[in-house]
Amino acid sequence: MIRPGVLLLLLATLALASPAGAQVFYEAPVTPTQAEPRPTAPTPYDPIADLLSSLPPDQSTDSAEAEPEVTPREEQEALLTAPFTPGAQPTAPILLPQTPQAIPPIATPRRPTPGRPTLDRPVMIDETDRSPDSPPTQIDLGYEARVRGSASSAQGLQGPLDGGWTVRGPDGAALYGLQLVDRSGGALEGAWRALGGSGRVGLIESLERSGSMLTVRINRGYGRPLTVLRLSAASNGGWVGDITDEAGTRAVTMRRN
């Protein structure tokens, strides 16, 4: 082991023996805390990374120029203003503004017109505060006038025999009731009803009119003879003549009901 004194002597000898008067200084040992940082290796130059770092954040190498965002309204206006090309189909449907439809007003219900009073019993003479019926309104009068006019027009198209008639025997007893249809210019039709007690009804077999003469044939059923009326017009608007059946022939008259 070399002693410290010997070590200093050796260092001094070396300093005096160095050429050109070189001096040797003693350097104290460097502690780990005073050590200089070790230089790191230089980073190689990357031109691609340099180019990417110089671009703005919203750009990339996939698109050289960023396209502006188009709103739906701008797209619709572009479709409306685009020139028309025959045979070309639009890339998107053209949506035109819809006109709002007006809401129809709510119809106000009309108040019902008060009708005539409903009576549950007859009105007595001494009940002066009650009326059997209210006076007719203008609607009632107009309806009645139309009904009367229609009936009068229909009656004008009928012949003189149209309507109901009653046949009576020589003693005045009612034998038959006849309902005749006399269309102007058409054939006679009718039905009969027995008034002697049986009350049977049926269609008249035949009606023949020749001038002022009228022949009526009534079929009362199987096995019974026909009842034949031969009548002529009278001056009072009725008809007179005779009737023939199983009881024989006797005088009769026929008058309108």
Q: What is the pLDDT of residues 144-159, one digit of tens each?
A: 999 988 877 766 667 8
**pLDDT bucket at 71, cuts 50 / 70 / 90:** confident
pLDDT digits (tens, 9 = 90+) for 184-208: 767 789 999 999 777 889 999 999 9
Q: Which carries the bigger pLDDT value, residue 32 or residue 171?
A: 171
Q: Where are the alpha helices (DSSP H) in the chain?
A: 4-17, 47-54, 72-81, 138-156
Mean pLDDT on 85-110: 68
Q: Is the pTM of this model over 0.75?
A: no
Mean pLDDT on 215-240: 92
What dihedral angle (degrees, nearest 10) is formed by the CA atoms of 16, 18, 22, 25? -70
pLDDT digits (tens, 9 = 90+) for 7-53: 666 666 655 555 544 444 445 555 555 555 666 656 666 777 777 77
Q: Which of 237, 202, 219, 221 is nearest to 229 (CA)?
A: 219
Q: Which CATH number does 163-256 carry? A: 2.40.128
In the chain, domain spans: 163-256
